[in-house]
Structure 1
């Protein structure tokens, strides 16, 4: 799992509730194109999910796994931890 500082900013925005990619881009001062690329990555790692009711609306929300990633973001750079496995362990404890 390769997360960027902006990925944690995105997760932080989504902690406040569902949001559109356009709004997230404006809030963290990134382009919509950049946010869309990162959202694909965050979706792959199940940190965010797309919500409807219409498919491909660009409306996202954070998952429980995403909340854990955000809450423990300081551990991401710990060389002794595989962050993906760390999140799995935390999720199993919940």
Structure 2
């Protein structure tokens, strides 16, 4: 879940492209950057931010493996992407949708 104190600020289209990529399965930044045609450094900046929002999570096996997967909340964000920019607080919108 997102932290209710964090205002979800997504970068369109990049963050949704990352989420779309991860909806297909776990992946690492270098592969994601190739797939979405964005720089690896930019993807490396966005992934931890998306994790802070609860939309993706870093998974093992090693703690520093850089392997990410989308969360249920992230899938919900992808499904409701048209609401981003329409609702005042997208994070709160997602939280309400999970209840």
TM-score bin (small chain): over 0.9
2:96 aligned residue (82, 89, 92): 89
Give 4+ residue runs of structure 1 displaced > 6 Å after superposition: none
Structure 2: runs of 5+ lacking an equivalent? 1-7
Query: Normalising by the residue count of structure 1, what TM-score does the alignment of the two structures yield?
Result: 0.93
Of 42, 54, 74, the match for 1:34? 42
Aligned: 1:6 with 2:14: yes
Aligned 8 A contact 1:75 1:81 in 2: no
Match of 2:51 in 1: 43
Is residue 55 of structure 1 aligned with residue 60 of structure 2? no
Deviation track 1:15-74 (CA, whole Å, cap 9, x = no partner) reads: 001011110000011111100100111010010000101111111000000000011000
**RCO (CA 8 Å, sep 6+): is it higher in 1 or 2?**
2
Q: Alignment RMSD, CA only?
A: 0.9
Q: Which blocks of at least 5 consecutive residues in structure 1 are unaligned?
A: none
